[in-house]
């Protein structure tokens, strides 16, 4: 039985951390769709193109080849961009790139192809509403913006990425606004999704909650 789990929600709500764990516990493939929009943004900046220029950014589609490797590495035209796509210059431009319909259609095709290959946990903004509308399990994961800013700040510091807490919070607010107000496939909870507010939950609690929802809806997995 092939199962798709969609995890959507605003920036830095902890989706990728729990999605990765749930996928590894169940032996599913983890697909980080945000990493694909980030890798595209990396390429746009590398080419010296202004990410706010839609036509010039979309013109690069035929020359961008993005791959997500099983161990979590992200490749852009064979270059390992796993770490560089987390930098502030990428975070602050990615929502412009992600608002362009042509780029979304291109990346969504790749995402659907990956989901055809087996059971997946896919995280993003539009997975339950647009990419995989028939996903067996849909989660909408939220947390207060203050909590999300602190989490992303600590994550960045651990990775050696220089940042300011206040700037991170501003970036999250700005990205959430652009992501939820764009015309095509905006960030919003699917009508049949389960809402989880993780503001006061540990990673383990969120993982266990999602595992029990998957078990209840599909019969797959063990619940502690």
Q: How far is the CB of 95 from ligand CDP (least distance, A)?
A: 4
Give the residue with the Cβ less far from ligand CDP, 26 or 36: 36
The least CB distance from residue 79 to ligand CDP, in Å, is 18
Is the CB of 5 or the CB of 98 nearer to ligand CDP?
98
Cα dihedral angle (50, 56, 57, 60), rounded to 10 degrees? -130
- C-alpha–C-alpha distance, residues 55 and 165, integer Å: 33
Least Å distance between CB 224 and ligand CDP? 27
Nearer to ligand CDP, 51 or 124 (CB): 124
Phi, psi of 165 (to 5 degrees): -55, -45
Q: Which residues bind ligand CDP (CB under 6 A)?
A: 11-12, 16, 33-34, 37-38, 94-95, 98, 124-126, 175, 179
Smallest separation, CB 144 to ligand CDP (Å): 14
């Amino acid at each position: 039985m092939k199962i798709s789990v969609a995890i959507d929600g605003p920036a830095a709500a902890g989706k990728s951390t729990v999605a990765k764990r749930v996928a590894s516990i169940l032996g599913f493939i983890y697909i980080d769709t945000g990493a694909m929009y980030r890798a595209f943004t990396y390429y746009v900046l590398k080419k010296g193109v202004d990410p706010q220029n839609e036509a010039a950014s979309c013109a690069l589609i035929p020359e961008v080849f993005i791959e997500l490797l099983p161990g979590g590495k992200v490749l852009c035209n064979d270059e390992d961009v796993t770490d560089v796509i987390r930098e502030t210059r990428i975070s602050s431009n990615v929502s412009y790139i992600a608002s362009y319909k042509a780029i979304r259609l291109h990346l969504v095709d790749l995402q659907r192809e990956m989901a055809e290959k087996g059971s997946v946990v896919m995280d993003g903004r539009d997975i339950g509403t647009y990419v995989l509308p028939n996903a067996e399990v849909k989660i909408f994961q939220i947390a207060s913006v203050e909590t999300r800013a602190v989490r992303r700040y600590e994550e960045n510091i651990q990775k050696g990425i220089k940042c300011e807490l206040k700037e991170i919070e501003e970036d999250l607010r700005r990205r959430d606004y652009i992501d939820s107000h764009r015309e095509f496939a905006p960030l919003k909870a699917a009508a049949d999704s389960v809402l989880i507010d993780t503001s006061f939950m540990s990673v383990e609690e969120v993982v266990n909650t999602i595992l029990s929802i998957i078990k209840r809806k599909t019969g797959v997995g063990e619940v502690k």
